[in-house]
Amino acid sequence: MPDAGTLFLVATPIGNLGDVTRRAAETLRDVAFVVCEDTRRSKVLLAHLGLSRPTMSLPAFDESARVGPILDRVAAGEDCAVVTDAGTPGISDPGERLVAEAVARGLKVVPVPGPVAFAAALSASGLPAGRFHFLGFLPRAGVDRKAVLEEVRPLRATLALYESPRRLAETLGDLKEALGDRRACVARELTKVHEELVRGTLGELEARYRGAEVLGELVVLVEGRTGEARWTEDEVRRALAEGLARGEKLKPLSTELAERAGWTGKDVYRLGLAEKA
């Protein structure tokens, strides 16, 4: 029985082919076969590197079914490189299950690091980058989306998420409602000709993108909670009473106070209903 091969996770450019690393190119050249999210897309990269390699596909919708045959080949001694359409495999992309199963089978897994969209966006955003929380794509459905946002609301860590340009304005609105009008950054078309990083509060960014035609790929970054220590219930009640006396609407008032108080919006709202009654 020959020694088992190695599974290499190879990061590839997120737009600019100049970002492919020398080690990525050498790994793709040296392995027995390349597993691609989409073989047609990856063949463009391989051609750019002057390579013609045997490929297998690993589409996101069918990852589980493909894992076995790929790992059987690695277990039999072949080295394999995994690439996705862009960036780092397994990051909101196929690769996660393949790696988990490879680890479970005791196979050697080696990362070949390189581009990843959220890290590029975070590094240039101007927001705190020491602590961050990556959310991938938010759930689209209202209830699930709200639950995730409630969960991350108290975190003192910059939030990074992927979004489609079609849903950008709506998502910025949801983020503002759930988290308060925090500082944020939309990083669009990173490493490409039309790259732009737009910074502002969530409200300012929502206003900018609402009704606008937004093209390309983007990352949204939102500053983590910056409020001071959690307010007591009495303090929240007092602020609610003052806000309501000024004629403010309960929902936006709750969102704003929750941010400052370190509470969830739901809990402040509930207290506000009692206060109104």
Cβ proximity to ligand SAM: between 137 and 230 the closer is 137
Contact 32, 55 (CB under 8 A): no
Output the residue with the shortest Cβ distance to ligand SAM.
87
In angstroms, rounded to a whole number, what is the distance separating the alpha carbons of residues 77 and 5? 4
Smallest separation, CB 184 to ligand SAM (Å): 15
- Least Å distance, CB 57 to ligand SAM, is 15
* Amino acid letter, 163: E
Compute the least distance from the CB of residue 230 to ligand SAM, in Å: 33
Q: Pick between residue 135 and residue 178 the one whose CB is nearest to ligand SAM.
A: 135
Least distance to ligand SAM, CB of residue 163, Å: 6
**Cα-flanking dihedrals φ and ψ of residue 8, to 5°?**
-100, 130
Compare residues 15 and 224 and give the one whose CB is closer to ligand SAM.
Answer: 15
Please say which residue, 34 or 258, places its beta carbon nearer to ligand SAM: 34
Q: What is the nearest approach in angstroms of ligand SAM to the Cβ of residue 113? A: 10
Residue with smaller CB distance to ligand SAM, 137 or 241: 137
What are the C-alpha distances in Å from 139 to residues 142, 147, 159, 171?
A: 8, 9, 15, 11
What is the closest distance, in whole angstroms, from the C-beta atom of residue 36 to ligand SAM in the complex?
A: 13
Q: Can you tell me the distance from the alpha carbon of 167 to that of 236, in angstroms, rounded to the nearest whole number?
A: 33
Tell me the residue ranges of DSSP E strands in the chain. 6-10, 33-36, 55-57, 80-83, 108-112, 132-137, 158-163, 183-188, 196-201, 218-222
Is residue 105 within 8 A of residue 97, CB to CB? The reply is no
Q: Which residues contact 174 (CB under 8 A, 6 or more apart)?
A: 138, 145, 146, 149
Residue nearer to ligand SAM on the CB measure, 78 or 217: 217
The CB-of-240 to ligand SAM minimum distance in angstroms stands at 37
Q: Which residues bind ligand SAM (CB under 6 A)?
A: 14-15, 84, 86-88, 91-93, 116-118, 162-163, 187-192, 217-219
Go through 164-189 and write b for each residue having 16 or more CB atoms within 10 A of its CB, e for each that does not.
ebeebbebbbbbbbbbbbbbbbbbbb
Q: Work out the number of other CB atoms within 10 angstroms of the CB of residue 94.
A: 25
Q: Which is nearer to ligand SAM, 164 or 226 (CB)?
A: 164
Three-class secondary structure of residue 12 per DSSP: strand
